[in-house]
Structure 1
Amino acid sequence: MDRPAPSVSAPPRALAHPLPAGMRDLLPEEARRRRALAKRVLDHFVLHGYEPVALPAFEFAEVLERGLGTLDAADVLRFIEPESGEVAALRPDMTPQIARLVATRLADAPRPIRLCYEGTVLRRRQGRARRHRQIPQAGVELYGVGALGGDLEILRLAASAVREAGLEHVVVDLGHAMIARALLDAVPAGLAAELSEVLELKDASRLAAVLASPRATDVPRRIVAAIAALPDLAGGGEADPDGALVFERAGCLLAGTPAEAPLAELRALWDAARKSPELGPALRVDLGELRGLAYYTGAIFHVLADGPGEPIAAGGRYDMLLSRFGLPMPAVGFGLNLDAVAWARDVAGAADEPALRVLLAMGPERAEPLAAALRG
């Protein structure tokens, strides 16, 4: 039986809906601007002594997931790799890839190791301002330098990189992952998990209810008081430019608790960073920041700008990361979300370098050799 000829009036679904949800094209002008932004940032990293590396678009899922940080495993896009039959994953973050690279290919390299990268990661995007799966990133990783020295270097580089990208007015929120973790480690595991969720949402009324529940009866009162105060332990800026009010209150609340030592570490980093002219005016402190609580081991920060509903850059210290790949080593770094940076640039009215175009008003016999000479 003859099949009816396909209708030319109804385009195939692949043409009517050319891209999966969360994916997008960049048209010529936007692509040119994005490429120029990435080059500008990467060149800035290289000028600061960071060597560029290029990484594969996908790897075996087990390797990538070993180094996942603030992402949930559900954010990872997996597939069966045809050659091996093993589960592979499109990279959701570049930090695990670089950790794998350092632990294998660069295990004997002189330290410290300074690396930078640029590329696209792919992940599920739930509850974000822009639900794109593909996220262009650029960032740096510093291996082999401990706290304070390494943290300060990375903070300064993050601040100078966003300014190199054309953003003069940003806020750098600085915290320490071990402050909240040390307090939560002092409460029962089930209660700690709920408190972590509530603290991340900064829901003060629910936090008070959980801490007043019978499950918290046996938790030392000093720990309860410190946890209850975490969402309010934030400051800096015009009202408290040197952070004295926040650190004074935190010092009283955290004295004699396991969080006292990480608070002292954060204060030392804060005091050093405040002296940096490109960083000091932008600094704010937030002791209630819980992002990546199970991943970060020290200072954490994110950079905010007008426009995007999410940080334009984020990073921190993750000294246990390389241990997951068999090579214990201090590590700290940050990544820029180039989509968010571009959005913030548009809001700020940052100027772009115009594309160079030359019109040759002559016949092709003369124009072609002249165009070749100009390109050279």
Structure 2
Amino acid sequence: MRDLLPEEARRRRALAKRVLDHFVLYGYQPVALPAFEFAEVLERGLGTFDATDVLRFIEPESGEVAALRPDMTPQIARLVATRLADAPRPIRLCYEGTVLRRRQGRARRHRQIPQAGVELYGVGTLGGDLEILRLAASAVREAGLDRFVVDLGHAMIARALLDAVPAGLAAELSEVLELKDASRLAAVLASPRAADVPRRIVAAIAALPDLAGGGEADPDGSLVFDRAAGLLSGTPAEAPLAELRALWDAARASPELGPALRIDLGELRGLAYYTGAIFHVFAEGPGEAIAAGGRYDMLLSRFGLPMPAVGFALYLDAVAWARDAAGAADEPAPRVLVAVGSERAEPLAAALRGLGVPAVAHPPDQDPEGYALSWRFSHLVRERDGAIVLEAPPGCEVPGAAAVPATLDDAAIAQAIVLKTRATPPGEK
């Protein structure tokens, strides 16, 4: 958990708004959800999280155990099942908010994760998966990132293989595969506990971490899919592999998706949650996914309303990190510091605010240049030689300072200032 200083908070808020507005443009309607719910309700949908990941407390009024949300998708599933059960389908919803999880490991620090995402309910076909994949790619681009990859997999490939293994062994194999520990995986599969597992299943599980590719070396994915088809032929994983291949082919045909696609059949994070296609989006910088999602057709049935569902979330801090690594431009809206005579400063600032420009009145004899620079005002308004002058704080670059006769009324001066601030880039170093 961390504080955000004004500039960081502004950038976070601007990024969240930009992404949420993009979702709305695609027909997804925003919903708002409580930061905590009764644990029994919330945990009904938490297939991906260990019980120790969830922060609980006793709700004072009811005495019930409540939990801070570690994921927003189960909350929206509960909302749909209880409040929107009779709504026409498909249902398209979007959200923005913060989840809180306990980090694993010795320190077990709390982790606060701001995110924005979408949920598509009532579309159980490849078309729904494709809509979500395309929207994820376009949202990442809208956030200012042009270079990223989308790792695409299918949760049921690994699950179908692990279902053919005794439960205790399957749990260990799932953990090892999630960690991508190849040497430990080989040791477990060679142990006496795996002696009765069909050799074809053993060979397929052993190969999962290596069934990844795409990109320039294998643009159509044929190397990975052909090898996987040979390994999975005659196993329960054959059908989900065919589903994934169909989605892959359709996604590759999309200009916004094709160049970014990669295959990863060994990705098991969230295995208990998803029932079909899964994907993670990566970009330079964070060293972790900037977005993730997939299909979870069984989730709503936990709340009494069976319905197919697919969605994804963007992790806003990771996206911001990737933007910084990519040198993505950030153009904040103008902010004007009005440092003119005391009788006129506030009316002029009010006139600017009335036109939608953030403005603050400041005494002209209290170092307005330093104040504007410290608090990142893009423009400074001064009074010189009978004119109202719009200029940049020292060290900032706003070409062509504008001068307006001081005899004009505040509304006219404000109009002139607004035209100038919107015609030049904000004064950033």
Fold agreement, TM-score > 0.5: yes
Task: Give distance in 2, aligned partners of 1:128 and 1:70.
Answer: 20
Residues 122 and 307 in structure 2, CA contact (< 8 A), matched pair in contact too:
yes
Mapped to 1, the partners of 2:192 and 2:90 lie a distance apart of 49
Structure 1 length as normaliser, TM-score? 0.91
| Shift in Å, 1:76 | 0.8
Q: What are the Cα deviations for residues 72-130 of structure 1, in whole angstroms up to 9, with x where unaligned?
A: 21111111001100001111111111011000011111100000000111111236999
1:172-231 superposed Cα distances (whole Å, 9 cap, x missing partner): 000000000001111111111111111112222221222122222221111111111111
C-alpha change, 1:79 and 1:130, in structure 2 (3 Å) is: closer
How many residues matched?
A: 353
Could you tell me how far 1:366 is from its partner in structure 2? 2.0
Cross-structure match for 1:227: 205
Paired position in structure 2 for 1:15? none
Q: CA deviation at 1:293?
A: 1.4
Please tell me whether residue 115 in structure 1 is matched to residue 87 in structure 2: no
* Counterpart Cα distance in 2 of 1:344 and 1:130: 25
- How far apart, CA to CA, are the structure 1 residues paired with 2:273 and 2:339? 60
Superposed counterparts of 1:126-205, under 5 Å? 126=104, 133-205=111-183
Contact 1:129 1:309 in 2 (8 A): no
**Equivalent pair of 1:129/1:310 in contact (CA under 8 Å):** no
- The answer on whether the counterparts of 2:92 and 2:118 sit within 8 Å (CA) in structure 1 is yes
Distance 1:130 1:62, change over 3 A: closer
- The match for 1:357 is 335
CA RMSD of aligned residues (A): 1.6
Q: CA deviation at 1:309?
A: 2.3
Which residue among 269, 272, 278 is the counterpart of 1:294?
272
Matched residue SS, 2:81: helix
Q: Matches of 1:73 and 1:301 in 2, distance apart? A: 24
2:288 maps to 1:310: yes
Structure showing greater radius of gyration is 2
Task: Check the 8 A contact 1:129/1:308 in 2, yes or no.
Answer: no
- Partners in 2 of 1:69 and 1:278 — Cα distance? 31
| 1:241 match: secondary structure | coil
Other-structure match for 2:371: none
Give per-residue Cα distances to partners, 1:18-55, cap 9 Å, x unaligned. Answer: xxxxx211000000000000000000000000000011
* Secondary structure, counterpart of 1:49 in structure 2: coil
CA separation in 2, counterparts of 1:95 and 1:155? 17
Cα pair distance change 1:127/1:180, threshold 3 Å: same
Structure 1 gap segments, 5+ residues each:
1-22
TM-score of the superposition, structure 2-length normalised? 0.80
> CA separation in 2, counterparts of 1:63 and 1:309?
33
Deviation at 1:296, TM superposition (A): 0.5
Q: Does the residue aligned with 1:359 lie in a helix, a strand or coil?
A: strand
Equivalent in the alignment of 2:244 = 266
For residues 162 and 273 of structure 1, do their structure 2 counterparts lie closer, same or farther at Cα, with a shift above 3 Å needed?
A: same
Change (3 A) 1:34 1:103: same
Alpha-carbon deviation of 1:308? 0.9
Distance 1:283 1:323, change over 3 A: same
Shift of 1:374: 1.5
Quick check: 2:68–2:100 contact (8 Å CA) kept in 1? yes
Query: Which residues of structure 2 form unaligned runs of 5+?
Result: 354-429
1:80 and 2:79 aligned: no
Q: 1:131 and 1:225 mapped to 2: Cα distance? A: 38
Give secondary structure in 1 for the equivalent of 2:115.
strand
CA spacing shift, 1:302–1:224, aligned 2, 3 Å = same
Q: Structure 1 residue 369: deviation in Å?
A: 2.1
- Worse-superposed segment, 278-287 or 361-370: 361-370
Report the Cα distance in structure 2 between the residues aligned to 1:213 and 1:279, rounded to whole angstroms.
42
Q: Say whether the 8 Å CA contact 2:102–2:108 is kept in structure 1.
A: no
Q: Is the Cα–Cα contact under 8 Å of residues 156 and 237 in structure 2 kept in the other structure?
A: yes
CA-to-partner distance for each residue in 1:341-364, whole Å, 9 max, x for gaps?
A: 111111111111124122334223
Quickly say closer, same or farther: Cα 1:197–1:123, change in 2 above 3 A: same
Q: Could you tell me whether the CA contact under 8 Å between 2:291 and 2:313 is conserved in 1? A: yes
SS at structure 1 position matched to 2:305: coil
Kept in 2: contact 1:128–1:310 (CA 8 A): no
Specify whether residues 129 and 28 from structure 1 end up closer, same or farther in structure 2 by C-alpha distance, changes over 3 A only. Answer: farther
Secondary structure (helix, strand or coil) at the match of 1:174 reads: strand
Taking a change above 3 Å as real, the CA distance of residues 34 and 369 of structure 1, as seen in their structure-2 partners, is same
1:32 corresponds in structure 2 to 10
Equivalent position SS for 1:139: strand
